[in-house]
Structure 1
Amino acid sequence: MNSISSEEKARLMKLATYASTSVALTLIICKMVAWLMTDSVSLMATLIDSCLDALASIINLVAVRHALAPADKQHRFGHGKAEALAGLGQATFITGSALFLLLEAISHFWNPQPISEMPVGVAIMVVSIVATYGLMMFQQHVINKTDSTAIKADRLHYKTDLLVNGSVIIALLLAYYGWAGFDPLFALLIAGYILYSAWEIVQESLGLLMDREMPDEDRQKIKAIVRGHPKALGMHDLRTRTSGMTIFIQLHLELDDSLTLMQAHTISDEVEALLLAEYPGAEIIIHEDPASLVEQHPEFAE
């Protein structure tokens, strides 16, 4: 993750929520016009998907603003888990829409309807693809800078949208020039993919709510930074988690027994500064342990 200030992260996250909401509302209008003109069930599928994207983006907007609020007396660790809660809410809406779409697709599959005004539907889908791709590029930029769970979940919606829009173009062409059943068939496939995407969001959100450890790559980096200090004899009991934009790091630092309390505290501060250089804004708790204690308790060693 790039090292940028908390203020810049907050600005980027807010911009991403405004952009996704604007794009979703615009696409809803376009797709509604196309669906009314073509009576395509696959177009209705992507219209439903866009409606849920708009609702999810609005939820994200509210959740991100809440997650960025500073810690208070009732929430000492901040409000970062609002992002994960928003992700679960989005997954619920997405699952409901996918199930509704499955029922509609099955109904149209047994009673295929001819497609009319096919060029209009294709044109709207091309516009949707261009707008969605542009939004996803901006969202990825924000994710690279902030590692926001809420923006990741939102981008997953639009990644689904991108694939859905492309498949709808194929479905419209096949249904118009061939068998009308291609339209509901593609809608069934889209519904299945939407359900899979919802499951991915649930996994990500539950991981944050259950205080999942940071990736092994980050844990190894933290250990290397701590052990890289010339006065650090070792470390153990590393615990990490994330909540919104905030990373929490706790560890026991092994130091020479002969150090004074002030010397041990100074070294601990220096190690904390090294970690903050790599993880700006992280909440770090370091407990100093005499090295002989670890020798007496080998289970402490990592």
Structure 2
Amino acid sequence: MTFPSLRSLTPRHLLMASIGVAVLTIALKTLAWVVTDSVGLLSDAMESLVNLASAVFGLVMVTIAVRPADDDHPYGHHKAEYFSSGFEGILIIAAALGIVWVAGQRLFDPQPVEQVGWGLALSVASSVLNGGLAWVMLRASKEHRSIALEADAKHLFSDVWTSVGVVLGIVLVSVTGWLWLDPIVAMLVALNIMKEGARLLWRSSQGLMDEAVEPEVFTAIQATLDGFAGVHGVPIRFDHLSTRRAGQRRFVDLHMHVPAAWSLGRAAAMRGDVEKALMGAVPGLRATIQLLPSDVETHFFDEDDLK
């Protein structure tokens, strides 16, 4: 029996799998809450509802992101993935606030936890499902450079740790008889997932504001350019290098200075070689290179533009 490679598991396939797993874990965790009456397990089930909504929205955004460029969006639709991770962050924070509200009420009106064995078994089963899918999704997100996939994977991992905390809380309640531990654990869970939600919102905002490429990607770009500077004794120079990322795409703009005596054909051929090398070094990169004579400088920033 052969399993599909991570490359063949597209973001759409994995997000559809995430939807199916979310439905199943909601059922398991809701049943666990019903049989135990644990507010901690209720908080766990509420976060799984967020998982479902996030996966559905992520699937929609990933579908939009792969659309080709058109007249209204000449640079493509890649930034749609940032809306997915931002939406997921908002839902996570909303769920956390709901958990705090429910747990606060239970803190002042503690209730015994019942049928602990069944509740723990159902919670652990759902955690195994989430953990396995999250591991696959996180590895695939690196293959596809998908922030939507990465956001959903990290949210699922957060869900796993949430379940671990809830299970620990139920065990402590059973051992100590301290009913107040159940809502306290639920509140701690809420704070943990709220932090994850805030982190996703921050990453999405940075992506929408044309954040520079990752340090390792910039290093690969610089190393490629260094390989052309002075090649075969020809004084080629690069400057005004700027980068940005948009979903799965990476963009670099720069000036390439060549000897003024070169013909346009020779300069264009050299530029083509540089572009090809850059795109080979960084998958998904789009390079825009402006040709200039070696003795010509340009004003890259205009102070009037900053007013």
TM-score scaled by structure 2? 0.90
Answer whether contact 2:220 2:282 (CA < 8 A) is retained. Answer: no
User: 2:11·2:149 contact (CA, 8 Å) conserved in 1?
Assistant: yes
The equivalent residue for 2:305 is: none
Residue segments in structure 1 that go unaligned for 5+ positions in a row: 1-7
Deviation, 1:132, is 1.3
Give SS of 1:275's match.
helix
Question: Quick check: 84-93 or 22-31, which moved more?
Answer: 84-93
CA RMSD of aligned residues (A): 1.9
CA change 1:271–1:186 in 2 (3 A) is same
Partner of 1:5: none
Give the SS at the match of 1:73. Answer: coil
Shift of 1:216: 2.6
- Distance across 2 between alignment mates of 1:109 and 1:287: 65
Structure 1 position 18, deviation (Å): 1.2
Per the normalisation by structure 1, the TM-score is 0.92
Q: Counterpart of 2:214?
A: 215
User: Which position in structure 2 is the counterpart of 1:156?
Assistant: 154
Q: Check the 8 A contact 1:252/1:286 in 2, yes or no.
A: yes
Instruction: Compute the displacement of 1:92 (Å).
Output: 1.4
* Equivalent in the alignment of 2:251: 248
How many residues in Structure 1 have an aligned counterpart in Structure 2?
A: 291
The one-character-per-residue Cα deviations of 1:232-264 (angstroms, maximum 9, x if unpaired) are 622111121122212111111122222111111
| Distance in 1 (alpha carbons) for counterparts of 2:11 and 2:40 | 32
Q: Distance in 1 between matches of 2:119 and 2:180?
A: 17
Alpha-carbon distance, 1:297 to partner: 8.2
**What SS does the corresponding residue of 1:293 show, helix, strand or coil?**
coil
Is the 2:135–2:153 contact (alpha carbons within 8 Å) kept by the matching residues of 1?
Answer: no
- 1:177 CA drift (Å): 2.3
8 Å CA contact retained: 1:114, 1:176: no
Cα shift at 1:298: 12
The answer to whether the 8 A contact 1:223-1:235 is kept is: no
Unaligned runs of 5+ in 2: 1-5, 302-307
Partner amino acid for 1:186?
Answer: V
- Structure-1 separation of matches of 2:50 and 2:296: 56
Describe the shift of the 1:33–1:291 C-alpha distance in structure 2 as closer, same or farther (beyond 3 A): same
C-alpha contact (below 8 Å) 2:61/2:84 kept by paired residues: yes
Which of the numbers 273, 278, 294 marks the counterpart of 2:276?
A: 273
- Note if 1:289 corresponds to 2:253: no
Q: Give 1:76's aligned residue.
A: 74
TM-fit CA distance, 1:68: 0.9
In structure 2, the residue matched to 1:201 is: 200
Whether the aligned pair in 1 keeps the contact of 2:66 and 2:77 (CA below 8 Å) is yes
Is the Cα contact below 8 Å between 1:9 and 1:146 reproduced in 2? yes
> Partner residue of 2:129?
131
Alpha-carbon deviation of 1:141?
A: 1.9
In the aligned structure 1, how far is the partner of 2:26 from the partner of 2:235?
58
Aligned to 1:226: 225
Q: What residue is the counterpart of 1:186 in the other structure?
A: 185
- Over 3 Å counting, the alpha-carbon distance change for 1:188 and 1:228 in structure 2 is same
* Equivalent runs, 1:2-17 vs 2, <5 Å: 12-17=10-15
Tell me the percent identity.
Answer: 28
Post-superposition CA distance 1:187-206 (Å, at most 9, x none): 01000011100111011101
Distance, in Å, in 1 between the alignment partners of 2:223 and 2:285 is 17
| 2:253–2:289 Cα contact (<8 Å) kept | yes
Aligned positions of 1:251-266 closer than 5 A: 251-266=254-269
Residues 220 and 281 in structure 2, CA contact (< 8 A), matched pair in contact too? no
SS class of match (1:247): strand
Q: Deviations over 1:114-134 (max 9, x none)?
A: 100100111012112211111
Aligned to 2:295, the other structure's residue is in SS state helix
C-alpha displacement of 1:227? 2.2
Structure 1 residue identity aligned to 2:277: L
Match of 2:25 among 27, 46, 59: 27
Query: Can you list the C-alpha shifts for 1:131-159, whole angstroms capped at 9, x where unaligned?
Result: 11110111122112012110111112111
